[in-house]
A = this chain, B = another copy of it.
Amino acid sequence: MVRENEIRDNEVRIEAPERTDASLIFIGRIHTPWTSRLECPRQGRADGPACRIEIFEPWVEALDGVEIFERLEVLYWLHKSRRDLVKQSPANDGKTRGTFALRSPVRPNPIATSIATLIRREGNSLFVRGLDCLDGTPLIDIKPDRTLFTPIAPPQKGDFEVGDETSSC
């Protein structure tokens, strides 16, 4: 069963600082078949239902050229998630793991990333498969899948640097 807002046995909650370091703006909205957190997939599947990513103005022009990519990386904001757990018990059995060792929606900055398969573009909408979020989820970003993208800008010095066993910062 998904978490609503409860804290489970042995989970650890922290008091997050009240400061804000950066601000996001929602650039669109994701339409999916799932209206309850009790139905959402844990992970999207490449053969899952088609979902629609709607882009708001003034960002629609930024879709130009996106159709050439078979897969897109989609970033979205998990607006229903609490942000204050550092240890979690996904199976609700008292066994916990750190938040950074999980892909749980509960995180200090609740941003999800998925690789979606592009079906087609229609105007300000992209139809895709592979998402796992609630209907109405706010969109943060879309990028070409990293494995399909080659930088267009000329390479820089850092592109050729490799590390040795001992190098570190």
**Chain A interface (Cβ within 8 Å of chain B)?**
1-2, 12, 14-17, 19-27, 31-34, 38-43, 45, 47-52, 55, 58-59, 61-66, 68-69, 72-73, 75, 77, 79, 86-87, 90-92, 96-104, 107-109, 111, 113, 115, 127, 129, 132, 135, 138, 140-144, 146, 149, 151-159, 161-163, 167-169
CB of B75 within 8 A of CB of A169, answer no
What residue of chain B has the Cβ atom nearest to residue A166's Cβ?
B50
Q: Which residues of B contact A25 (CB under 8 A)?
A: 16-17, 19-21, 108-109
CB of B23 within 8 A of CB of A154, answer no
Q: Which residues of B contact A40 (CB under 8 A)?
A: 156, 158
